Amino acid sequence: MPPLSAHQLRLWWRRRVAALAVALLAAAALFFSLSRYAAAPPAAPKAPSYGHRLPTLVDITLVHAAKDRGAVCLDGTPPAYHFQPGFGDGSHKWLLHLEGGSWCPSFKSCANRKQTNLGSSAHMDSRAEFVGILSDDPSQNPEASVSGKQSWIELLSKGLARAKQAFLTGCSAGGLSTYIHCDDFRALLPKTPIVKCLADGGFFLDVEDISGRRHMRSFYNGVAQLQDVRKKFPRCSSDMEPGQCFFPREVAKAITTPMFILNPAYDVWQVEHVLSPAGSDPQNLWQDCRMDITKCNSKQLEILQGFRKELLDAISEFKNRRDWGMFIDSCFIHCQSMNALTWHSPVATRINNKTAAEAVGDWFFGRREVKEIDCEYPCNPTCYNAVLDRPYKED
């Protein structure tokens, strides 16, 4: 299977949305999209043709009224969204997507975002392309039809309150936000029969890096302290550091809404920023391995297999929840739901002959219980692996 090039990976990754300032994330950026489903087929989807049409382009809308509530981006510009209404039965089926973009753990790092699309609606694309899980092309997205983005509260008056199905999803930092806000979303829609959540590439691990430090925990300590979010996690043990409460392994324990975990076992972003972050590898011994998993030596592969085991251990307790689903492939990639190739295409990764889109569709519509756990790298020949030409960044 040909690898995913850096150009392909960054082409879809550059599409961001502006920060929505809410109580929990007022100093950081919460990125989101929403999509309304059109009528979904009752049967499992058939294999698609490879003739994808051009993606739908959706215009930006600024929420000027949000300024009165103090909900603004880091530079003071109003939050923005892209929204395409559904039609027919689809007008009552909604999908909201929280996009990635990391977090800012200090005032300085937050200030650095103010002149980018991670902190200003003035720097967002005037039109956004919707692919993968947000696509209205059945060959890319066999269960859904049309897409859009906007804030939850404003959407209630636009039909979200009357939704028959609601699906909150997120990618990367948006995936972590999905874990954090899943039950809040459920509570927002008490009359909606079906409310579920999906986190893509958001199961960040609290593990030691190659130098023996816990870089990611330190990073989340900064986020938690800056935004005073410890109170958001009342079930978190008082003897834990604030940053520990932020990890999905802890957050997910309290989630009661049905959740789907979509994650690669060898997450390219986590290999770069969690397992071998800057400063942990002064001799750059991991540089080639970070960029291309096929260039990892035997010792590095052994460490990567240990990283996979940490992920499987972390999600093991959630395998027993019948209304939860998971798709853990053995690929070297990050978010997979926002890319047509990795979400659902003839060359998409498969586990037990199912793409991620097919597995999620089976789970969401209750066609079967979905707990797909792939074998160790390099066992899966369908994997679409990233090959980077420079260090991987979210912005």
Q: What is the pLDDT of residue 87?
A: 63
Q: What is the pLDDT of residue 265?
A: 98
Q: What is the pLDDT of residue 155?
A: 74
According to DSSP, the residues that pair with 386 across neighbouring strands are 4
Q: Is the whole model's pTM more than 0.85, yes or no?
A: no
Lookup: tokens for 158: 């636009």
Among candidate residues 111, 153, 217, 112, the one with its CA nearest the CA of residue 23? 153
Q: What is the pLDDT of residue 269?
A: 94
| Residue in 267, 329, 362, 374 annotated catalytic | 267
What does DSSP say about strands 165-171 and 93-98: parallel, antiparallel, or unpaired? parallel
For 274-280, which contacts have Cβ atoms below 8 Å and span 24 or more sequence positions?
A: 274/204, 274/205, 274/207, 274/209, 274/215, 274/216, 275/207, 275/209, 275/210, 275/303, 275/304, 275/307, 276/209, 276/210, 277/209, 277/215, 277/216, 279/211, 279/215, 280/209, 280/210, 280/211, 280/213, 280/215
Q: What are the DSSP calls for 175-188, one per residue?
A: HHHHHHHHHHHHHH
Q: What is the pLDDT of residue 89?
A: 66
Range list of H helices, 27-172: 107-112, 152-156
| Distance in angstroms (rounded) separating the CA atoms of residues 37 and 160 | 12
Question: Contact at 8 Å (CB) between 42 and 127?
Answer: no
According to DSSP, the residues that pair with 325 across neighbouring strands are 260
For 291-298, which contacts have Cβ atoms below 8 Å and span 24 or more sequence positions?
A: 291/387, 291/388, 291/389, 291/390, 291/391, 292/3, 292/332, 292/385, 292/387, 292/388, 293/266, 293/332, 293/377, 293/385, 294/385
pLDDT < 70 positions in the chain: 1-54, 86-90, 131, 134-153, 391-395
Residue 21 vs residues 25, 110, 120: alpha-carbon distances, Å:
6, 13, 11
Could you give the dihedral angle defined by the CA atoms of residues 69, 71, 77 and 81, in that order, rounded to the nearest 10 degrees? -110
| Residue in 35, 139, 172, 345 annotated catalytic | 172
Domain ranges for the chain, please list them.
4-387
Lookup: tokens for 115: 């002149």
pLDDT in tens, 59-114: 887 888 877 777 888 888 888 877 777 666 667 788 887 777 777 788 888 888 88
Question: Contact at 8 Å (CB) between 376 and 330?
Answer: yes
Cα–chain center distance at 186: 18
Active site residue 172: yes
pLDDT in tens, 289-320: 999 999 999 999 999 999 999 999 999 999 99
Q: What is the pLDDT of residue 9?
A: 37
Q: 212 in helix, strand or coil?
A: coil
Q: What is the pLDDT of residue 352?
A: 97
| Residue in 334, 337, 344, 374 annotated catalytic | 334
| Distance in angstroms (rounded) separating the CA atoms of residues 303 and 305 | 5
Active site residue 334: yes
| Distance in angstroms (rounded) separating the CA atoms of residues 81 and 31 | 9
